[in-house]
Structure 1
Amino acid sequence: MKPAGQLLTADTCYLHVIDVQESLMRQIHGVEQVTSVTAMMMKFAQIMEIPVLANTQYKKGLGLYVPELEELAVGIPRPDKVEFSAMANEETLALVEKLPKNITNVILVGVETHICIYQTAMGALARGLTPWIVSDGVSSRRREHHEAGIARLSAAGANVGPGEMLIYELLGRAGTPQFKQVLPLIVAQG
């Protein structure tokens, strides 16, 4: 865990996209927002050169990512899992262990907040990583399950906040080349 009051830097983070698959996403509360914010975070990670990992949950049954995110996921390591925690999947864990040692934070987006996001965050905490839950980039089938998941995550020590908050924290200042590339992504969110 970073000391209180210390802001994140891009070189200490990786983005982890969890299970944003068509069959599952059709049932998700606020699916348009989750899809849009997840896309924004994936594009932001590319601009900031933040490593990205992803997972599918039982792809044979739940299919590919929603089209907007599927095209952004090309070239991103994306193990299929049956475990609810991505950190319990051997192939995913091997990829996490290969990340640079200065990475101490995992940014989580995807579904479902109270199941796979929650369990992946707990697995990250157990491994010494600090989870940062993008609150508007995660959800569940039922809003109350999402809210309960966010409450449990916060109580367990995960950082929780909207994508825009995290983006500005990682940018640190206006006027940089990265800021100029990222600003249209933020404006597009409204």
Structure 2
Amino acid sequence: MSSFKCLLVFDNQAKCVEISEGTTNRSLLQLLRSTFQNQSISLIQQWRSDWNSWVEISEDHVANEGMQKYKGISCKSVGNLSPSTSVVFCCDMQERFKPAIKYFAEIAEVGNRVLKTSEKLGIPLVVTEQYPKGLGKTVEELDIGHAAVLEEKTKFSMMTPKIVEFLTSQVHLQSVVLFGVEAHVCVQQTAHDLITRGYDVHIIADATSSRTQADRHLAFERLRSLGAFVTTCETVLLQWVADKNHPKFKEIQQIIKISPPDTGLIMKSNI
């Protein structure tokens, strides 16, 4: 495969790199982010010498050879969700964590609402289990029978080679809906790895926890600063259906009809 030289531009910085012909826009976006260490870059513009101006890239691939010029634009995503471009990540909801994690039973109940909805809407599911030999399998309260990937791991991030390969093969996926434990370790590191690869990440706060509330809430602050959307189960489910006339709306309505349990999101004062 041939390649071409490319001048990457961001703010007052510019670096020349070599890019393979056929590089996807997502790969180019990732290159811009890593080159300038700016995770908020979300748009790419290409210099059009015939127009003497920058234009936003809309092609599926970068195809022209020769010296090209691309500019990264900082623009925060607004976090739109669609079933056709979403994937659900369930992180390490395992038996041995039950007695240790704050509000584990409650976040599992909320997490199962996400899983049921993902199955009804045909949204792929990725599940990991951290060292299951010692920490047990995913709790039986969670219905993960429709998982596209069920991966054992020892690293904290869910982004194992198998899961990276799965995401790479699903080029239409843009948004990752992520929940599980622990918020400040595996969930946070997974979100970081996903964001640096160009995905929108939505953290289901009422289905995500840690051993301590301090770690949990500080993790949510950190995740927001990384660019993740810290949200709730019901918010995401209704974003997916978007319209009361959606053919699956009544089924999803039954899932959220009963108010979710208290998952400890509101910090209580002792005063």
The 1-side partners of 2:161 and 2:79 are apart by 32
Over residues 103-132 of structure 1, what are the superposed CA-to-partner deviations in whole Å (9 max), with x where a residue is unaligned?
A: 111100111100000000000011111111
Over residues 14-36 of structure 1, what are the superposed CA-to-partner deviations in whole Å (9 max), with x where a residue is unaligned?
A: 00000000101321111122101
Evaluate the alpha carbon distance shift between residue 189 and residue 67 of structure 1 in structure 2; reply closer, same or farther with a 3 A threshold. Answer: farther
Evaluate the alpha carbon distance shift between residue 127 and residue 178 of structure 1 in structure 2; reply closer, same or farther with a 3 A threshold. Answer: same
Aligned to 1:90: 161
The 1-side partners of 2:228 and 2:131 are apart by 26
Q: So what's the TM-score if we normalise by structure 1?
A: 0.92
Which residue, out of 99, 111, 118, partners 1:45? 118
Task: Show structure 1 runs of 4+ deviating over 3 A.
Answer: 1-6
The 1-side partners of 2:164 and 2:208 are apart by 21
Greater per-residue helix proportion: 1
Q: Count how many residue pairs are aligned between Structure 1 and Structure 2.
A: 186
Measured after TM superposition, the shift of residue 6 of structure 1 is 6.2
The 2-side partners of 1:152 and 1:111 are apart by 15
The 1-side partners of 2:204 and 2:82 are apart by 16
Q: How does 1:84-163 map to 2 (within 5 A)?
A: 84-87=156-159, 89-99=160-170, 101-163=171-233
Q: Decide whether the 8 Å contact of 2:95 with 2:136 is kept in 1.
A: yes
- Give, as a single letter, the amino acid of the residue that structure 1 aligns with 2:164: L
Q: Decide whether the 8 Å contact of 2:119 with 2:146 is kept in 1.
A: no
Measured after TM superposition, the shift of residue 171 of structure 1 is 1.1
- Give, as a single letter, the amino acid of the residue that structure 2 aligns with 1:47: K
- Give, as a single letter, the amino acid of the residue that structure 2 aligns with 1:83: K
Which residue, out of 237, 252, 267, partners 1:167? 237
Aligned to 1:81: 153
CA-atom RMSD, angstroms?
1.5
- Give, as a single letter, the amino acid of the residue that structure 2 aligns with 1:85: S
Evaluate the alpha carbon distance shift between residue 6 and residue 131 of structure 1 in structure 2; reply closer, same or farther with a 3 A threshold. Answer: closer
The 2-side partners of 1:116 and 1:125 are apart by 14
Larger Rg: 2
Measured after TM superposition, the shift of residue 188 of structure 1 is 3.0
Secondary structure of 1:124's aligned partner: helix
Q: Decide whether the 8 Å contact of 1:114 with 1:146 is kept in 2.
A: yes
Evaluate the alpha carbon distance shift between residue 158 and residue 6 of structure 1 in structure 2; reply closer, same or farther with a 3 A threshold. Answer: closer
- Say whether residues 1:63 and 2:136 are aligned partners: yes
- Give, as a single letter, the amino acid of the residue that structure 1 aligns with 2:153: K
Q: Decide whether the 8 Å contact of 2:167 with 2:173 is kept in 1.
A: no
Greater per-residue strand proportion: 2
